[in-house]
Amino acid sequence: MMRDALLAFGVAMSYAAQLSIPGLPFGYSELCLTLWIMLSMTRILAGGQLEVTPALAKLGLFWLILALAMGVGYIIGFLTTTLFLDPLLHDTLAYVLLACVTCLAAAEPAASFRLRRIAWWMVAVANAGFIIQVGLGFGWLHQAGVEPWYWDRFCGWSDNPNQLALYCALLGPLALHLATTTSNKWGRCLALCSLIFTVYVGRLTKSDTYLYTTVLACLILLGLRVRAWLTSDGNKASLSRQLAVLLAVGFLPLALSIAPYALSEASSAEDFAKSLTKDKGGEATAQTAALRLYLWNAALEKGARSGSLGLGPGPHLDSPPVVNQQFLPRPFEAHSTILDLYTQGGLISVLALMWIFGSAALSAWRAKLDALVALVASIAAFSAPHLVIRHPIVWFCLTLCLVAGTPEAIPAIVRQRRC
């Protein structure tokens, strides 16, 4: 139980960069994750069981490929460009920490049950933290050294509103998965109630990516639920199912018939969509988009000049002509998971990442866990305009999907007891 709580706190609060330990170069999240790894290793050395599952094999293979790709990229970068030591060490340690956490979590006995219990702890810890941060943001509470607002965007304990938005975007589908798969009525109620506060905090960040990701996850989840409903009860005919099929078949002609009316209201719909974005789709949104495009083009050029082998861990882009205050000084990141990984580990690391994402989605699909499929889609959507692979919550969610959709190894002692 203590180890589960440590991992839950370390993952759920890893965005809280403003909560640092005085006199130490790391925060509470890194401390909890390190303690969890040490306790897990101690359990193994003391004779604890390990389960070699397909999920563990996939995670181990991914991290092995990524390590080899990053090593080759580092050699190329060392020979062809100037490398910055601090971000290189930061990224390397982050990858090592995440590899240890994911592999050890997947190798735990009854990993599916333990990860599910940790997920409950995460939702509880995250929402308790959200309550405190909202209190700080609106002046109801006071905490020295914490600035909960980035201009007019809420960032809470994080350094960047987008970091907090990422956790809100993933905690929502995670809580929905717990609510839809539990038999405890109180647990289902609490998980659904947590969605309200998670969405509220996500909107306070004014992250456009959070908005798009949430809409995409809802559409995917709705489509999967309709599909499951249509194929339930052994495909027996019923009036409601027949009406749904007729509506689906007639959707195209119906859409064509109402197209003229929809076009007449297009301007108001566009205004409504813009009103949901930060700055209502104005100058701030345009500047962010222009800066993103500049960084993405620069990342493609950097990666191509390295022969698509990468330049090693860390950011590698030069300063853009217009520096936004949310970015750190040179070197810059591309702020896109695929492109940043392309500049670090080349094409091989990008293909490895796409494979592990696809494996997680396929595992959740096979297990018929619709909320987990939406969760993987949320990770993919958020990773397009942001670098997310250093965040522990991303890898916890991927590990949860891989474990939930693959068979678990049965230890010999358990097999004997069952016999």
pLDDT in tens, 51-67: 888 999 999 999 999 99
Question: Which residues sit opposite 317 in a β-bridge?
Answer: 332
- CA quadruple 218, 224, 227, 228: dihedral positive or negative? negative
Higher pLDDT, 410 or 17: 17
CA atoms of 29 and 364, how far apart (whole Å): 27
* Strand, coil or helix: 32: helix
Helix/strand number for the chain, H first, E second: 16, 2
* Interval 353-364: pLDDT, tens: 999 999 999 999
What pTM does this model have? 0.85
CA atoms of 35 and 33, how far apart (whole Å): 5
- Which stretch of 98-112, 184-198, 287-301, 394-408 has the lowest confidence by average pLDDT? 287-301
- Which stretch of 38-42, 270-274, 374-378, 399-403 has the lowest confidence by average pLDDT? 270-274
* Half-sphere exposure (Cβ direction) of 93: Cα atoms closer than 13 Å: 11
**Residue 235: what residue type?**
N
CB 58 within 8 A of CB 359: yes
CA atoms of 99 and 395, how far apart (whole Å): 9
Contacts 24+ apart (CB under 8 A), 252-258: none
**Burial (CB count within 10 angstroms: exposed 0-12, middle 13-18, buried 19+), residue 142:** exposed
At 268, the pLDDT band (50, 70, 90 cuts) reads very low
CB 318 within 8 A of CB 331: yes
* Interval 114-145: pLDDT, tens: 999 999 999 999 999 999 999 999 999 998 88
